[in-house]
A = this chain, B = another copy of it.
Amino acid sequence: MAESPVIPIVGGTGALGAGLARRWAAAGASIVIGSRSEERAEGAAAKLRAEVPDANAEGLLNEEAAKRAEIVFLTVPFRAQSENLNNLREALQPGQILVDCTVPLAAAVSGKATRSLGVWQGSAAQQAQEMVPDGVTVVAALHTVGAPTLADADADLDEDVPVCGDRKADKARVAKLIELIPGLRAVNAGPLEMARIVEQLTPLLISINTRYKTHAGIRLTGLPDDNHWQ
């Protein structure tokens, strides 16, 4: 990986995407914010450059953003996931990794944010794997990192990010990008099918947040100190 990786974020004008963009920009990565609207993408990039000194950020249409690096992050609400994946069919190329951050909250259909929708394929990430072009690999991650915490420049992060995918080498590349953000540790949670469980951590945290009036995160205890990803 180059010293300053390029990180395209499809749906980067949303709360999660913007929060990740801010943290990655502060860590020195070059951010490509994607949106369905070029104007909104450019606006979000300008805001990011204003907020983070020396930020390297540009705004593009999602389809253009997705061509800018091998690893592309998808941070859209569940109700927009299928539409976005359809729009990316011509843009994504074999060899690329799509990091799906989608959580199938029942809020997508006006239900509770503490409940989730059943996805026929098992999880939103598995739905994404079905929809991407042949040769594109889906890795699932970043479901449990809260947008408000990411957006709060004064908030220190201190949590783990379960990463699901069928090949450790793919997950290791994504883990490197995740761990550019101080306070985040990427944890190998197993194959992509484990996204069925990991995506459910978000409604669990929302339920806990309601009760404790906080923004909780997840930590795994008892993991060895050595670098799992090397």
Binding site for B on A (CB under 8 A): 114-115, 149, 158-159, 162, 187-191, 193-194, 196-198, 200-201, 203-205, 207-208, 210-224, 228
Contacts and interface: CB of A to CB of B under 8 A. Distances in A.
Contact of A222 (B191, B203, B215): B215
Nearest to A162: B204
Nearest to A226: B212
Contacts of A207: 189-191, 194
Contacts of A221: 158-159, 216-219
A198 B189 CA distance: 16
A220 B200 contact: no
B201 A197 contact: yes
Given A159-B221, A211-B228, A215-B222, 4 more contacts: A114-B194, A190-B204, A217-B220, A217-B221
Interface centre among A159, A205, A210, A223, by most chain B C-beta atoms within 10 angstroms, is A223
Contact of A208 (B196, B205, B220): B220
A212 B200 contact: no
A148 B124 CA distance: 33
A188 B200 contact: no
Nearest to A209: B222
A147 to B, nearest CB: 14
A36 to B, nearest CB: 32
10 contacts: A159-B221, A159-B222, A190-B210, A197-B203, A197-B204, A212-B223, A212-B228, A214-B224, A217-B222, A218-B220
Contact of A218 (B114, B149, B219, B224): B219
A17 B193 CA distance: 30
Contact of A200 (B190, B200, B223): B200
Nearest to A194: B207
Interface centre among A188, A203, A208, A222, by most chain B C-beta atoms within 10 angstroms, is A222
B222 A114 contact: no
Nearest to A149: B222
A194 B217 CA distance: 17
A149 to B, nearest CB: 8
10 closest pairs, A vs B, by CB?
A190-B207, A219-B219, A217-B221, A197-B200, A197-B204, A216-B222, A216-B220, A188-B211, A159-B221, A214-B222
